[in-house]
Chain A
Amino acid sequence: MAEFLELESQDGVRMPWNVIPGTKQESSNCVVPVSAIYSPIRPLPNITLLPYSPLRCRTCRSVLNPFAIVDFAAKIWICPFCFQRNHFPPNYASISDDNLPAELFPHYTTIEYSQDNQIGQSPPQPPLVFLFVIDSCLIEEEMGFLKSSLSQAFDLLPDNSLVGLITFGTLVHVHELGFAQIPKTYVFRGNKDISKEQLLEHMSFFAKKPKPPGVIAGARDGLSADSISRFLLPKADCEFAFNSVLEELQKDPWGVPTDQRATRCTSTALSIAASLLGACVPGSGARIMAFIGGPSTEGSGAIVSKNLSEPIRSHKDLDKDSAPLYHKAVKFYEGLSKQLVHQGHVLDLFACALDQVGVAELKIAVERTGGLVVLAESFGHPVFKDSLRRIFQAGDYDLGLSSSGIFEINCSKDIKVQGIIGPCASLEKKGPLCSDTVIGQGNTTAWKMCGLDKATSLCLIFEVVKKESPDATIQSTSNQFYFQFLTYYQHYSGQMRLRVTTLSRRWVAGPGSIQDLVAGFDQEAAAVVMARQVSFKMETEAEFDPIRWLDKALIHLCSRFGDYQKESPSSFSLSPRLSIFPQFMFNLRRSQFVQVFNNSPDETAYFRMILNRENVANSVVMIQPSLISFSFHSGPEPALLDVASIAADRILLLDSYFTMVIFHGATIAQWRKAGYHNQPEHQAFAYLLQAPRDEADSIIKERFPVPRLVICDQHGSQARFLLAKLNPSATYNSDGPLPGGDVIFTDDVSFEVFLDHLQRLAVQ
């Protein structure tokens, strides 16, 4: 396991198969696809920034890397991807065996280039643009929470950033922050779609001169800086205006009958925001930050009618296709996502309401643009407040928000790319590398990542196309596959950078390769790939049975890689490389990603969006929560994710990524209630109580979105957050109570039963 982590810290890559099944047949037998979880701008300890442009292969445009074969005498390098012989340019003249450029250092498989530093002076950094889109259909209390969070957030904005403000309810208000005399807003109808051209005309961008022909895009194409600065102003210039608008922002004044939902035109507001940015700052990094406090009921993206008697769509409605507005809304947001991707802008979503707000519909726009998403039940909830602060916070835990990313891929010719499951959008750059089978954003070798941050992780899925050939094993010298990942992006410092990661992986084929494959199997990465894949399939494939699919995959994998005698379940054993994979699958089957019926479509969409952007370690926590036990008897120690871990004298800390639960055993809870920890003689108890808090805090600090912290006692109502995640080894059907005294009221099978079945089926 450790070596995988090491590889990750070198390149930001985790692959389920670090030894690659070398043929098409083999790879399909391996169940888990050949794939990689890649974090394009993960901070790496040993990364070097080169202040010059990369050297590229003449034919395949791949970048010079340590795997290239260099002929120092001839000043030639051979591209490992296409075997093209390339001459070094004159500035590489002094190259020699012991005078290598950094990009050829063997351990610099991942390296960054920044052309900006070439001449020593960087061009003026394009300012970051933040366009706030605020829902005004909120009750006063929520409005108050939101206002205070926003004004705090405003203070944290970088000084050179540009700020714009749109509020919406029944109508959309675009605030002209640059209008000095009195507060001024443009008001648009909520139920009417409006194109970018109409918007330009309506906002009188061309009042002072005739409209230039063709596409309008920013200052370069005829839009005066004056016009832009009416709506997007440097933070310092609009601080007063922004705050006064915010201060006077009132609940949407259009009356709402008691049997109706508020008229909330979320989609129109977002569309106008996108068009405004598209008109003013196309191509440079800008974020639309949408703060939404309820379901969208107006415009093309409405998710539910205004009539309260009609409930908001549930998973069941979606399955039965009885959510009349769903497809229309999704289609609308798909269009919006295309527009945003084209413009290079990000949509961040802060959905804070007890009701669903339409995250499921919005998902596509957020995910394609690489936006952030936070779901909380109130604007006053710490999940929202702390998350918002985290976004703008500088320091160790900043998110490293970067923008305008383009991700490209090169790989050896026997490998093709099926697609990426993750926060990116296809640029539709087709090439010989593209596989016919498409998963996620496929059919391309380049992707747009409008917004990306340190955590952003893409799941690339490959296809091995090498045919079975007898001489394949003979040529053992060339049994390497090469992958090169190129990420151009605007670093949050404003610099344009290119990160190049070049990987080499050995492939094996034929009999006897199983051991090699097992040795290179990264079960965590595999579990995450499976999770992303199953989520994707659930969303896209009709009539898809995820449990069956997962079970089949697991059985198939176990019967291929397990040690057993046929028809003898008791003889079954798995290599340590595979041993916890069944447990991951067991928990994945029970997770919110697969068992959606407990959640609203919004929640599911939210969980999946986070899953699709997080790295392996965090994703594993989402699939299989971690449980730490605290007690007087021992220090903090991992506990089994099992109901048996509950004990009266223990405190358990469950981390399921989205929720952290601090669970006090019955005795501890009694003591706590009695207030012993406040008495000096029971300081030890106070420490014990505090320890899980500290642990939780340290986890929360690093995480975005900020998880929800639940502190509960055994047998309390909030304890369900823990119990839902535990293996039901003791249920109300069990014979006798466990020492911990807790049972789970479920008919779900326990892990033991699951394993039994697995062994039986695997050996068949």
Chain B
Amino acid sequence: MASYLPPGAPRPASNANNPPSSQPPPNFRANPNSLADNLHNLNFNSAAPRAPSPLPGTPFPRQATQPVSPFPPTFSHPAPFASRPSPSVVPPPGARPPPFVSSASAGLASNGQPVFASGALPGGQWFPPPGSAPPTMAMAMARAPPQPQPPNTTSRPLMGSSLIRAPPVQPASPFAAAPQARQPPTTGYPYGQPTWPLQPGQGAPPPPITGSPQPPRMFGMPPPLPNQSMTSVSPAVGQIGAPVAGASKIDPNQIPRPIPGSSVILHETRQGNQANPPPPATSDYIVRDTGNCSPRYMRCTINQIPCTDDLLTTSGMQLALMVQPLAIPHPSEETVQVVDFGESGPVRCSRCKGYINPFMKFIDQGRRFICNFCGFTDETPREYHCNLGPDGRRRDADERPELCRGTVEFVASREYMVRDPMPAVYFFLIDVSMNAIQIGATAAACGAINQVIADLPEGPRTMVGIATFDSTIHFYNLKRALQQPLMLVVPDVQDVYTPLQTDVVVQLSECRQHLELLLESIPTMFLENRTAESAFGAATKAAFMAMKGTGGRLLVFQSVLPSIGIGALSAREAEGRTHLSAGEKEAHKLLQSADETLKAMAIEFAEYQVCVDVFITTQTYVDIASIAVIPRTTGGQVYYYYPFSAVSDPAKLYNDLRWNVTRPQGFEAVMRVRCSQGIQVLEYDGNFCKRMPTDVDLPGIDCDKTIMVTLKHDDKLKDGSECAFQCALLYTTVNGQRRIRVTTLSLPCTSILSNLFRSADLDTQFACFLKQAASEIPSRPLLLVKDRMTNLCINILLSYRKFCATVTSSGQLILPEALKLLPLYTLALIKSKGLRTDGRIDERSFWINYLSSISTPLAIPFVHPRMVAIHDLNSKEGDQSLIPPVISLSTEHVNDGGIYLLENGEDCLIYIGNSVDSDILRQLFCISSVDEIPAQFVLQQYDNPLSKKLNDLVNEIRRQRCSYLRLKLCKKGDPSV
């Protein structure tokens, strides 16, 4: 719609909310103005939450100008690009002009910002013709604040379409002419930089392994101007103050972008008895636990704790912890040490039950210790007594992991067990209804299971069971004494039961042959199945009953909408569509669970320590919103394969399943987070069941699951003191040992607002945003959620500008250094699947569910994906990293002659330009032209270096993301997914 209008042409007034026009829309339906409106309103203290629709013709500039006068120059004088590389923006250290120049020239060529130009700009002559797309949303967003400019015209989904719909008219030169310009700026730039320093790659960051564990940004180095902006993006040349002002001419390349560091950072969690702010979650780092826990296990949104609630409120930031208790450490990190206190169990505070940790203060010659959570003075147990050294520490502090490490694991004594540690039980439940059989999902599931059996832990503690279901439930007696497995059909799906008390769940070693035989024969056995109905709820319940005695993992492979029996669902998506057209009022209700029985079941499952994972292999609507309640409550997760392809998906299914059972994990877990006095846990958020307000029950917990813990003040904290957080996870290992993993983080308290901004942890903050958005989407209208997310971002920036930044031109966007990517990410979030209405309900549900347990490092790429070029992999000889440089998510960086890979940790899109060299195509995909792109793509390795590199690349990404990725090929002009 909007983007098809010629720049400056009159626009329909109703632009804001109108339905897509008859022209093929570029997938943008959300209200494009709300963001800008709100920004505008906030900045200028306007009360109206939503500004009136922009005027035709000059919508945004007019609005922006209305309240504030000094903008006219913006319109009358296009910024001279030549003035850009002004001294103030030139990066001081080893500044390299060439990139700048080239980037400027690239900007010049492509910078025809229709939006900014609006009607007021006289010089329409250098705008690209209508239809040529401007840079993507991300940049527009970043540029928006100076003049609250809604990025509507260009808005595109980040995933996919922005790339697919590359502008038809591409200035050919920039890419070809100045390849260097596209080199992403590196991470390193000091705080002092008032503007965005585009520092080309390799130079800046000090090689981390050189012994300085200090990553060079965001922490450690005191900013030269304590209260000054860390980063400010000014319109064009900004600070020069020249009336040139060229607000509309913001160079997209000036927008802060995530720059993945290519080298590994060394991080010590505490230095000089001070908490050391952790490196970004998305970076590659190695942690040395020197008292605080590794940020992998627990990180806080702000690395200094505000002393008062008011301070926190003023900052606009959230105070929350991201806890990933079983996260996988870097291979070079020391593993978590196991401490055995014998029968007596770990030393704990007798009042708050906090576990012994490095921040407990021993006094009185070590006879007593002060709890760092509640402040209570406890007697040291006699056998644990040790004298203090001259420094006031216990003499044995460095020998005892629990006194010097932020993360330790205690062997649980008897009192932590209500029963013997449970065995590792895996129960597979497979949909064999007609559709599942016909689309090949059953065969894929059986095949995957059959392969995965070999990966299950060995030994007598591993038990397996299997059942299939359509409108009835089929159990299998796998006892070895039988000649063949015996099928037991439970036909009553309203009132289910398990057909055998024993023998349905059998020791793996006893039934391996039977199991293999059975898995091979299931697809053929049901080949003629004409039962379309699927009793998901009943089958899950029946399987649960079979494993009730022990608990364990229940892995369900579901392919159609559960239509019969307990927890049957209706195809409400169709109803939803009519609602949608009726005015979108109830649209979000489709993202809520439709069925209370499933909820009740889920709670019962959790009670008996059954963790359910659901693999949805489907080509239709299955109502994930309702189904997902079970995995969410039981600490499981949803896997989604849509549209299921029998060609390309089995490999992913197998890998997902394999990772599911082989990844580090625990059973029958209980988790609690304790905080120092003054702070308390407000809420836990993630995949678990909560029966007590203080604890979360996790029938299953694995290395990928993260729990968000929001915090609140219940008292003032003392400035200069430290505030500690401790997460205790009591769980059973796969080998049947009961353990308590205790993760402690102690952070300084501050009463200075700018400290908060300086120590803000962007990745954690944003993950927190994401999770909040995900949990809100089902319960309130989408517009409100979007507004809220935008406001969250704006509030922080506003607060920063108001209280921390030196006075600058009001047209300038000033970003705290630590949070400079927040606007970009927020925009990406707003454009992501979950916050758009054009996606399928199930996809949105899945998005929401995926986020509910996502870890911080994976959260950001999930909404702000990574794009790399793969057509020229060969040309990057000598590059250490397997992953080529990341390309900004901007259409101008997508070339018709290139092949690009876009991945978000779950999906992976390979975009093939129209004029790609057929030789490259042949090497990579064994096709000769773009038109031969297979609908269902399986990555294969061919005998050429390029193909090998691609495979290596994909494998490296898989490794990083712990995910196999759903690969999809597309070409220019394909309808977006």
Contacts and interface: CB of A to CB of B under 8 A. Distances in A.
Interface of A: 171, 173, 176, 179, 181-189, 192, 194, 198, 201-204, 207-208, 244, 248, 253-255
Interface of B: 471-472, 474-475, 481-492, 495, 497, 499-503, 518, 521, 524-525, 529-531
B488 A185 contact: yes
Contacts of B474: 184
B491 A203 contact: yes
Nearest to A245: B486
Contact of B497 (A171, A173, A253, A255): A171
A254 B545 CA distance: 14
10 contacts: A181-B521, A184-B487, A184-B488, A187-B488, A187-B489, A188-B491, A189-B495, A198-B492, A204-B471, A207-B530
A605 to B, nearest CB: 32
A185 B487 contact: yes
Contact of A183 (B487, B491, B524): B487
Contacts of A208: 530
Contacts of B491: 186-188, 201-204
Contact of A204 (B472, B499, B525): B472
Contacts of B492: 188-189, 192, 194, 198, 202
Contact of A182 (B471, B475, B485): B485
A176 B525 CA distance: 14
Given A184-B488, A204-B531, 8 more contacts: A173-B499, A182-B486, A187-B488, A187-B497, A188-B491, A188-B492, A207-B529, A207-B531
Report which residue of A187, A192, A198, A202 has the largest number of chain B beta carbons within 10 angstroms of its beta carbon.
A187
Report which residue of A179, A183, A254, A255 has the largest number of chain B beta carbons within 10 angstroms of its beta carbon.
A183
A249 to B, nearest CB: 10
B518 A192 contact: no
Contacts of B529: 207
Contact of B503 (A171, A183, A253): A253
Given A192-B495, A248-B483, A184 B500 contact: no
A498 to B, nearest CB: 42
B531 A185 contact: no
A171 B491 CA distance: 12
A176 B474 CA distance: 13
Contacts of B499: 171, 173, 187
B494 to A, nearest CB: 9
B489 A186 contact: yes
A183 B495 contact: no
Nearest to A181: B525
A208 B471 CA distance: 12
B573 to A, nearest CB: 25
Contact of B518 (A182, A198, A204): A182
Query: Chain B contact residues: over half helix, strand or loop, or mixed?
Result: loop
Contacts of A171: 497, 499
Contacts of B503: 253
Report which residue of B475, B484, B503 has the largest number of chain A beta carbons within 10 angstroms of its beta carbon.
B484
A171 to B, nearest CB: 6
Contacts of A255: 501
Contacts of A181: 521, 524-525
A235 B518 CA distance: 27
A182 B503 CA distance: 16
Report which residue of A171, A189, A198, A207 has the largest number of chain B beta carbons within 10 angstroms of its beta carbon.
A207
Nearest to A186: B489
Contacts of A253: 500-503
B471 A248 contact: no
A186 B492 CA distance: 10
A173 B488 contact: yes
Report which residue of B481, B482, B524 has the largest number of chain A beta carbons within 10 angstroms of its beta carbon.
B482
A173 B52 CA distance: 71
Nearest to A208: B530
Nearest to A247: B483
A334 B489 CA distance: 29
A673 to B, nearest CB: 47
Contacts of A198: 492
Contact of B490 (A187, A201, A248): A187
A384 B939 CA distance: 69
Nearest to B502: A253
A203 B497 CA distance: 16
A202 B497 CA distance: 14
B471 A207 contact: yes
Nearest to A171: B499
Nearest to A170: B501
A253 B471 CA distance: 26
A186 B475 CA distance: 10
Report which residue of B483, B484, B499 has the largest number of chain A beta carbons within 10 angstroms of its beta carbon.
B499
B531 A244 contact: no
A566 to B, nearest CB: 74
Report which residue of A176, A179, A204 has the largest number of chain B beta carbons within 10 angstroms of its beta carbon.
A204
Nearest to B521: A181
A187 B542 CA distance: 12
A179 B487 contact: yes
Nearest to A174: B489
Contacts of A254: 501
Nearest to B517: A182
B568 to A, nearest CB: 14
| 3 smallest beta-carbon distances between A and B, as pairs | A202-B491, A187-B499, A184-B487
Contacts of A182: 484-487, 518, 521, 525
Contacts of A179: 487
A208 B531 CA distance: 7
A232 B521 CA distance: 24
Nearest to B497: A189
A271 to B, nearest CB: 14
B546 to A, nearest CB: 12
A244 B483 contact: yes
Contacts of A186: 472, 488-491
Contacts of A187: 475, 488-491, 497, 499
Nearest to A180: B525
A179 B486 CA distance: 11
Nearest to A248: B482
B840 to A, nearest CB: 30
A181 B497 CA distance: 24
Report which residue of B474, B489, B501, B525 has the largest number of chain A beta carbons within 10 angstroms of its beta carbon.
B489
Contacts of B524: 181
A77 to B, nearest CB: 59
Contacts of A207: 471, 529-531
Contacts of A192: 492, 495
